[in-house]
Amino acid sequence: MRLDQFTNPDFDRGASKAKEALWIALDGLLLSSWLPGSGWRAALLRAFGASIGTGVVIKPRVRVKFPWRLALADHVWIGESVWIDNLDKVTIGAHTCLSQGAYLCTGSHDWTDPRFALVTKPIRIEGECWVGARATLAPGTIMETGAVLAMGGLGRGHIAGGMIHAGVAGTAPKPRRGYVESADVDD
């Protein structure tokens, strides 16, 4: 890859530069602050285009990249220091909990492309799921109803519902040229 050749002309940020700049300022000053309270956080996200259901709890220090690409159903709980890095759509079903420090990542780069092209994929978490503290969801992850991703886990692909998953959960990505799964490496 050649980082000096990076371009991102096809990425649609989903809002005007002015709206994004205002969001960045308010996110830094308010949403991701230590200030207590959920109702005003939900109202702020709604004002910037997020779909927020009833009974949503949003704790302090939460970060949301683009609220206009966020949909939270009823009774979703978002713990302290959760980062929703939603370059693409993130949909979270009813009665789902994202515990402290969880990271939802919708963007990556194609390292086989000399331009290191940006690649985005949505994340969908169906209802009654639990993403444990410090767990990470990769771009394109779908958590089926009732799935639990344990503390510090990595979720990718489809994560089966009604089960507890620890470590790396979900379907593996297709191997790419030069790609080796760490579990396949001989010691």
**Per-residue pLDDT reduced to its tens digit, 30-74:** 888 999 999 999 999 999 999 999 999 999 999 999 999 999 999
Report which secondary-structure segment, H or E, holds 40: helix 39-47
C-alpha triplet 81, 82, 85: angle, nearest 5°? 125
**pLDDT of res. 6:** 87
**pLDDT of res. 96:** 98
Look up residue 171 and give its DSSP letter. P
**pLDDT of res. 183:** 42
Residue 55 lies in a domain: yes
> What are the strands of the beta sheet with 83-85, ordered from one edge?
63-64, 83-85, 103-105, 136-137, 154-155, 168-169
Residue 182 lies in a domain: no
Residue 108 lies in a domain: yes
Are residues 5 and 114 in contact, defined by beta-carbon separation less than 8 angstroms? yes
Residue 57 lies in a domain: yes
Report which secondary-structure segment, H or E, holds 71: strand 70-72
Residue range of the domain that includes 73: 16-169
Check which CATH number belongs to the domain holding 125 and give it.
2.160.10.10
Q: Per the structure, how many domains does the chain have?
A: 1
Residue 1 lies in a domain: no
User: Going by DSSP bridges, is the β-strand pair 148-149/130-131 parallel, antiparallel, or unpaired?
Assistant: parallel
**pLDDT of res. 180:** 41
Identify the segments of the chain with pLDDT beneath 70. Answer: 172-187
Residue 31 lies in a domain: yes
Residue 185 lies in a domain: no
